[in-house]
Amino acid sequence: MDNFVFNNPTRIIFGKDTELSVGQEVKGYANKILLHYGGGSIKRTGLYDRVIKSLNDAGVEVFELAGVQPNPRLSLVQEGIKICRENDIRFILAVGGGSAIDSAKAISVGVPYQGDVWDFYEGNAAPKEALPVATIVTIPAAGSESSFSSVITKEEGWYKRGLNSELLFPVFSIMNPELTYTLPDYQTACGAADIMAHLMERYFTDTANVELTDRLIEATYKTVVNNVPVALKNNNDYNSRAEIMWSGAIAHNGLLNTGRQGDWGSHAIEHELSAIYDIAHGAGLAIVFPAWMKYLYKRDINRFAQFAMRVWNIDDNLFDLESVALRGIQALEEYFNSIGLPTRLSHANIDDKHLEEMADKCTASDTRKIGGVMQLNKEDVLNIYKLAL
């Protein structure tokens, strides 16, 4: 186990009807806010009206910036920064999934910064202050509601990059599983794949002696795997929605990587995919992760076999751990398919046209390493894309 510092100050307000308290919660921080969200869905479901009413009742003045898209765009972030500066807004409330939250976080570090906020995402500068951000979560997936991460996309050249900073922890997050009843099944499944990927990025590690976090990851992973089919079968099942939603936050709040190095290669490889093809991040991960596993499981057969045995209940044949490991990867692919996700580029109608370009962009940076368990160069990344064809 490595030395570590763990601190997660986000206050989680979880359960039925919790969004009705948003006005009172916000009031503790600000009288004027930027409300940041996507588009029609929160209006169709009535969530928008409930949030506005709660904010109005608490006497909070609301400026709005809608239009967040999946793979949130830098241009909208810059618009948000402008609105906050012009109106002296010092608090941002994001309502939505990871895209709305990540976009809000980008605005929050951009407002007090003199330079271009993209500097932070390119690793050319580190943020020193940020406006407080709070969230009402509608999609269990990114875990951004209790993480210190934000990922945005620069349209010019379609670069998708992430920023990690302790300044990015939301001050509070409201999580009502009922808000996820109206998610299309495909989005529920993509969210699950994102959560599972966050767990696997942490699980596959070179750090030795990490029994507690291994077991905590397996516990969270099995919970997601068990509950997603239930939620897909009955969209309004509170219990499975609650298990998935809380798992999504736990998966990415920093606890499960205490004392261990993660990998994150698959995330970097997927980012190029969704930057160019604009497919859902979770779907991209369902394609990339099995290919990544096949490419390098031999480096640590024991770990991949343990994953297969403990998470996928593959028979513990200790005389042929490679076969156990491979059956685990197969179980993962079958699971993704069973919940309606692609596991091949061809399933998403992506051919080999841009593989070279994506591998290039993924590995172009001098400062950013790709992969922890195995550091990947351009050829490795290209091979992984090819395995996913």
Dump the DSSP string for 72-83. Answer: -BHHHHHHHHHH
For residue 354, the number of C-alpha atoms closer than 13 Å in the C-beta half-sphere is 14
- Select the residue interacting with its own copies from 83, 219, 301, 387 (CB under 8 A): 219
Does residue 246 touch its own copies according to CB under 8 A? yes
Which helix (H) or strand (E) is 238 found in, with range? Answer: helix 238-252
- Per CB under 8 A, the list member of 27, 222, 347, 354 interacting with its own copies is 222
CB-nearer residue toward its own copies: 157 or 208: 208
Give the shortest CB-195-to-its own copies separation in angstroms: 11
Of the candidate spans 7-15, 69-77, 97-105, 289-297, the one that interacts with its own copies by CB under 8 A turns out to be 7-15
Within 13 Å, how many C-alpha atoms sit on residue 348's CB side?
A: 26
* Structural Rg of the chain based on CA atoms: 20
CA dist 219 and 224 (Å) reads 9
Question: Considering the complex, what minimum distance in angstroms separates the CB of residue 71 from its own copies?
Answer: 29
- 188 part of the interface to its own copies, by CB under 8 A: no
Contact flag: residue 194 with its own copies (CB under 8 A): no
Q: Is 2 one of the binding residues for its own copies (CB under 8 A)?
A: yes
How many residues line the site for its own copies (CB under 8 A)? 39
Q: Supply the DSSP string of 26-40, one letter for each residue.
A: HHTT-SEEEEEE-SH
**Which residues in 321-350 contact its own copies (CB under 8 A)?**
none
Q: Which stretch binds its own copies (CB under 8 A): 115-123, 197-205, 240-248, 327-335?
A: 240-248
Tell whether residue 126 is a contact of its own copies (CB under 8 A): no
CA 267 to chain centre: 9
Q: How far is the CB of 218 from its own copies (least distance, A)?
A: 7
Q: Are 293 and 331 in contact (CB under 8 A)?
A: no
Query: Per rule CB under 8 A, is residue 388 in the interface with its own copies?
Result: no
Which of 13, 52, 58, 125 binds its own copies (CB under 8 A)? It is 13
Q: How far is the CB of 240 from its own copies (least distance, A)?
A: 9
Residue type, 105: K
**Rounded Cα gap, residues 131 and 251, in angstroms:** 25
For the residues of 291-323, what is the DSSP string, one character each?
Answer: HHHHHHGGGGHHHHHHHHHHHH-----TT-HHH
**Is 181 among the residues that bind its own copies (CB under 8 A)?**
no
Chain residues binding its own copies by CB under 8 A are: 1-16, 18, 208-209, 211-212, 215-216, 218-220, 222-223, 226-227, 239, 242-243, 246-247, 250, 255, 258-259
